[in-house]
Amino acid sequence: MDKNLLDSSKFNVLALIDPDQKNDDILDELIQSINANNFSGILVGGSSIVDNQFHNRIKKIKDKSTKPIIIFPGSSEQISQHADGILFTSLLSGRNPKYLIEEQVKGAKLIKQYSLPVISVGYILVGTSLNTSVVSVSQTDPIDPNDYENILNHSLVAQYFGMKYIYLEHGSGANNPIDSNLVKFLKKNINIPIIVGGGITKKDEIIDLQSAGADFVVIGTILEKNPNFDFMNAILP
């Protein structure tokens, strides 16, 4: 793995692009704006992509971007040689074997064929809403955000399995971010870096998560809604 893809020695803000058909009209504008702002890299992937244009879109992003491109796959079909690396995630918070291990087995040979640098991640869905896209697609329930011990236990499983990061996901389109107090609690009890995504729309939310110990925060939906990013310098720390 290229350690420079996700450098946890400093705080990072990552952009998330959903390479779905609905974003084709704003893709050029998204990439241009991300290039111009203080993002450390771009995650590319989505819970559901309804056409077969993933490879073409990620190639376009790669060709036009000045940032590292890391696949954040929603399935084994979202693997491409045009990326700099891939998050190899297992949805530890759910009990659906499809996203615990089956999709990973389907995709492993192709990852090897493409010689993609692999970043192993324990993916933990946290929240109270059942209306986010990842809940719908994965058919799994999120962990109660107030159940710190249960979230910690799942995070420790990731650490003990040898995964290099945990990803706390509040879900695409969430109304608010992961509680910074949860991040602070986990940071005291685990030894691997923490990625936080979902519902982050304000600069003070990013600063709170950074202060709590998050190593990476991921911004996605708000970028799609405001692809010109005129205000982004006010959001990024």
In tens, the pLDDT along 37-91 reads 889 999 999 877 767 899 999 999 999 999 999 999 999 999 999 999 999 999 9
Whether the per-residue pLDDT at 28 is higher than 60: the answer is yes
- CATH number, domain with residue 135: 3.20.20.390
The domain containing residue 37 runs over which residues? 3-234
The answer to whether 216 and 12 are in contact (CB under 8 A) is yes
Q: How many domains does the chain have?
A: 1
Contact present, 236 and 206 (Cβ < 8 Å): yes
Work out the average pLDDT over 200-216. 93
The candidate with the shortest Cα–Cα distance to 152, out of 190, 191, 195, 194, is: 190
Output 236 or 25, whichever has higher pLDDT: 25
Higher-confidence residue of 107 and 230: namely 107
Count CA atoms closer than 13 A to 98's CA, side-chain side. 8
Residue 167 host element (H or E): strand 165-169
